[in-house]
Structure 1
């Protein structure tokens, strides 16, 4: 297990390679014969490091844990984690937004889901290297219509939706930071002790 970032540690901590296997071989379900030396204690070191990260994750508030799992877990996320993460983004963005009509609030819930999906894609795999695929309002509106059947008007986009989209991204960053903070603390302590 490499400890380069809290995001990567969250992702990698659930791999459980068997003795002598790399985590990739464990995931693929095959063992590739190599000319290198035989089994080592790497699996024990991985388990120790992963256990510390898993322990930090387990101590997080349910919403933060669900957000982190939806974002970074190595195993396929369950819908409960994703739905709780989307709800957290929506609720936080709404607390920061100006008042909305009931109709706009209903559509705003889907906007928050869409922004969460964009944010997750951008930070997928813990590297945070992907560009926002729906950065242009036309692309985002088209995707929202195709994915959720929600129509967002292009007229007055800058007034009606752009601020809420930004509030959703801000909420994602804030929740992400709260979820990753304790993991970063554990990593810092492990590196300091090394």
Structure 2
């Protein structure tokens, strides 16, 4: 397994990507197979080094998780484990509730806020899994389905926004605490030369990338136009130097993010826009050979 981010490592450390030998044998027996069928594709059993590396990394991550207090372990499992149980979710719910500092409100609102805490966990889980976080309407529907209480989404800002914000802050803090020892394992396995050498031992890389992407999306149009104007004003010699810098930048960027550039392209829109403009400028000055379709 690759150690890319604390969230990814937590998930992959508890996930077995292939069937056991006995499971594969049982499946073949159920289908009445004896021996191999001509032309049948069989999974390779020779990658023992890769499997050992996976087991080592998974063991280190699992050991790091085990250093957390039990409630935080359940909280992390509820968010990231592929084999999370109802017990994990129940304890995570209670942990969020007891760690939330609610604004002053009535007993009735506190009852509803208790179920909003569960909705906040679900919303956070969706957000860190590259899905959209829950809005007011979704939260109101969830509370109505689980508790039977009706909430008016049209008055969300007045009645519930402060409560939801307090709960979300609690979830974020607990998430950071749970991921801290796993992030330390990633730093150590990445060959960092000393503590603090990289910011990813203090911040989750996926969360930072998502925040940057959201910030860039708000100003993307203006940023792209400004880049085009700046490059159009450059001389041929200046553009050549910019091309060399872009090549080095692109190589370093892909070395850091690898397949994530393709799998989660929305996170890397600024990089992709720069690459697009790189090829546009090279085409403009005739620095690329004509391609044949």
1:189 aligns with 2:180: no
Matched, 1:85 2:84: no
Equivalent residues of 1:110, 1:150 under 8 A apart: no
Q: Could you list the runs of 5+ residues in structure 2 that have no partner in the other structure?
A: 26-40, 194-293
The correspondence of residues 75-154 of structure 1 with structure 2, limited to 5 A, is 75=83, 77-93=84-100, 95=101, 97-124=102-129, 129-132=130-133, 134-135=134-135, 137-154=136-153
Does residue 3 of structure 1 match 2:3? yes
Q: Would you say 1:71 and 2:79 are equivalent positions?
A: yes
Report what 2:156 is aligned to.
157
The root-mean-square deviation of aligned C-alpha atoms, in Å, is 2.3
**1:33 maps to 2:38:** no
SS of alignment partner, residue 175 of structure 1: helix
Structure with larger RCO (C-alpha < 8 A, sep 6+): 1
Aligned equivalent of 2:54? 46
1:156: Cα distance to partner?
3.9
Distance 1:81 1:37 in 2: 34
Aligned length: 176
Q: CA deviation at 1:159?
A: 2.5
How far, CA to CA, are the matches of 2:184 and 2:46 in structure 1? 34
Deviation of the 1:15 alpha carbon: 3.0
Q: Separation in 2 of the partners of 1:102 and 1:42?
A: 56
- Deviation, structure 1 residue 37: 8.3
Q: Displacement, 1:30?
A: 5.0
Please say if residues 116 and 139 of structure 2, whose CA atoms lie closer than 8 Å, have aligned partners that are also in contact: no
- The answer for unaligned runs of 5 or more in structure 1 is 17-22
Report the CA distance shift for 1:172/1:30 in structure 2 as closer, same or farther (over 3 A).
farther
Q: Report the TM-score when normalising by structure 2.
A: 0.55
Larger radius of gyration: 2
1:70-109 superposed Cα distances (whole Å, 9 cap, x missing partner)? 011121x11111011111212222x2x2222221111110
> Which residue of 1 is the match for residue 219 of structure 2?
none
Shift of residue 193, structure 1, vs aligned partner: 6.4
